[in-house]
């Protein structure tokens, strides 16, 4: 039996495994990370590579190591120096530097040895022990931390699903099997979406292929340095949020987020590269599409658009992650949920006795930053406070 089983090996699961494995009286033999992917952070690495991300939207202090300045220190080492690149404001690191630092943290802290490659299927209680049935081994843990992200539920418009089933060349940038290099050879590509992922994908494809790339968005390209106001990281905005009833917090979170926006350097790059004839932007609503002349004809509010292929950069479904596994867990343990379906967790992120949540599943407690890297660091402070490690909760932060 182990003390902590973390379900999910993304940013949250990896950071919190690193934190929990170093608690006094604990150790690596007391923590495991259950995740079906080949390596930790696999989904993050694939998604950021596919869209051509150059620099993170988050500052360098938002990283997966315990010391807040760890990424800066790594950038000065022999391994990090060749990839040390930061961009203003807030010294945001390059994707390459962040990724290499993350792999360094995983290797130095032996987090890869904690990885159990399987998918959680159900949880039941036997006395004080939680029995977790998986697609692989059965695991026994004193506590379970749910660190499920949104990565397995890309948002597909219904018309796109129908055409995909009929053989049309339509893919989502966040689909598990999507590889951008497989989409470089079409003469006419439409990228659907108006946020940073869509814009970066369109620019990258245009640079890599000889075809025409058409970015289609239902709103104008708009600038915002972050996808939420930074006040939500700390007490300025969170203190009044905690005084709000749970049934009102969903509205607050949705209003605080800034989806479909671009940091200034991405917007400036778009304005520069879109001057050419092979990259085009149209502001219009896509109402559907039909197969036509061996390709697709998109029906938009600004007239039809012809394409050989469509790449969706439409983000993720906002429904509660975890699917049937979380549905069974709620039923088995009679867990509390908000009307929006998301968990109601305590201030220490406890959803039930010995069952904790982080990331999107804890956003009614963590606020609008819950899904971000800084949300993982904030979750760590909540957990450590609840476990009685207040001193460690602020050390290195």
Average pLDDT over every residue of 281-300 = 95
Mean confidence (pLDDT) of the chain: 95
Q: How far apart (Å, rounded) are the C-alpha atoms in residues 283 and 277?
A: 17
Pick the CATH number of 158-222+260-312 from 2.40.37.10, 3.10.20.30, 3.50.50.60, 1.10.760.10: 3.50.50.60
Contact of 313 with 195, CB cutoff 8 Å: yes
pLDDT tens figures, 348-365:
999 999 999 999 999 999
Per-residue pLDDT band for 390 (boundaries 50, 70, 90) equals confident
Q: How far apart (Å, rounded) are the C-alpha atoms in residues 145 and 109?
A: 19
Model confidence at 395: pLDDT above 70: no
Which H helix or E strand runs over 150? none
Q: What is the pLDDT of residue 358?
A: 98
Long-range contacts of 293-298, Cβ-Cβ distance < 8 Å, separation of 24 or more: 295/169, 295/188, 296/163, 296/168, 296/169, 296/170, 296/190, 298/190, 298/216
Do the domains spanning 2-152+318-394 and 158-222+260-312 agree at the CATH topology level?
yes
Q: Which residue has the tokens 């930053």?
A: 369
Exposure string (b/e) for 129-149, b if CB count within 10 Å is 16 or more? Answer: ebebebeeeebebebbbbbbb
Q: What is the pLDDT of residue 396?
A: 54
Q: What is the pLDDT of residue 6?
A: 98
pTM of the model: 0.96
Q: Give the start-to-end residue ranges of the domains of the chain.
A: 2-152+318-394, 158-222+260-312
Q: Looking at domain 2-152+318-394, what is its CATH homologous superfamily?
A: FAD/NAD(P)-binding domain (3.50.50.60)
pLDDT tens figures, 24-42:
887 899 999 999 999 999 9
Q: What is the CA radius of gyration of the chain?
A: 22
Per DSSP, what are the bridge partners of residue 172? 312
Contact of 184 with 52, CB cutoff 8 Å: no
pLDDT tens figures, 200-247:
999 999 999 989 999 999 999 999 999 999 999 999 999 999 999 999
**Among 20-34, 67-81, 137-151, whose mean pLDDT is lowest?**
20-34
Q: What is the pLDDT of residue 25?
A: 82
Cα-based distances in Å from 29 to 64, 107, 118, 212, 291: 20, 16, 18, 53, 55
């Amino acid at each position: 039996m182990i003390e902590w089983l973390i379900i999910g090996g993304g940013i949250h699961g990896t950071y919190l495994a690193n934190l929990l494995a170093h608690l006094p009286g604990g150790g690596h033999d007391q923590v495991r990370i259950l995740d079906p992917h080949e390596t930790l952070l696999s989904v993050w690495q694939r998604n950021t590579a596919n869209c051509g991300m150059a620099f993170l939207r988050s500052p360098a202090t938002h990283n997966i190591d315990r010391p807040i300045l760890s990424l800066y220190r790594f950038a000065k080492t022999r391994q990090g120096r060749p990839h040390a690149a930061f961009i203003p404001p807030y010294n945001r690191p390059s994707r390459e530097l962040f990724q290499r630092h993350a792999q360094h943290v995983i290797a130095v802290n032996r987090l890869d040895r904690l990885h159990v490659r399987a998918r959680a299927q159900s949880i039941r209680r036997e006395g004080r022990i939680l029995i977790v049935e998986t697609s692989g081994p059965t695991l026994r843990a004193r506590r379970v931390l749910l660190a499920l992200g949104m990565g397995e539920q890309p948002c597909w418009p219904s018309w796109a699903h129908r055409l995909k089933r009929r053989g049309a060349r339509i893919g989502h940038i966040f689909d598990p099997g999507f590889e951008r290099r497989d989409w470089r050879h079409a003469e006419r590509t439409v990228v659907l979406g108006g946020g940073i992922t869509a814009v970066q994908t369109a620019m990258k494809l245009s640079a890599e292929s000889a075809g025409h790339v058409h970015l289609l968005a239902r709103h104008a390209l708009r600038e915002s340095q972050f996808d939420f106001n930074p006040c939500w990281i700390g007490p300025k905005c969170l203190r009044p949020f905690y005084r709000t009833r749970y049934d009102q917090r969903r509205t607050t979170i949705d209003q605080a987020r800034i989806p479909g926006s671009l940091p200034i350097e991405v917007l400036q790059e778009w304005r520069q590269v879109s001057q050419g004839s092979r990259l085009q932007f149209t502001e219009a609503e896509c109402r559907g599409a039909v197969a036509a002349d061996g390709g697709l004809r998109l029906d938009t509010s600004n007239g039809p658009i012809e394409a050989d292929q469509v790449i969706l950069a439409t983000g993720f479904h906002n429904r509660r992650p975890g699917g049937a596994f979380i549905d069974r867990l709620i039923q088995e343990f009679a867990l509390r949920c908000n009307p929006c379906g998301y968990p109601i967790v305590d201030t220490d992120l406890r959803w039930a006795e010995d069952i904790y949540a982080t990331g999107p599943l804890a956003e009614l407690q963590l606020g609008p930053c819950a899904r971000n890297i800084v949300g993982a660091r904030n979750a760590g402070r909540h957990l450590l406070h609840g476990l009685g490690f207040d001193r460690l909760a602020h050390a290195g932060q």
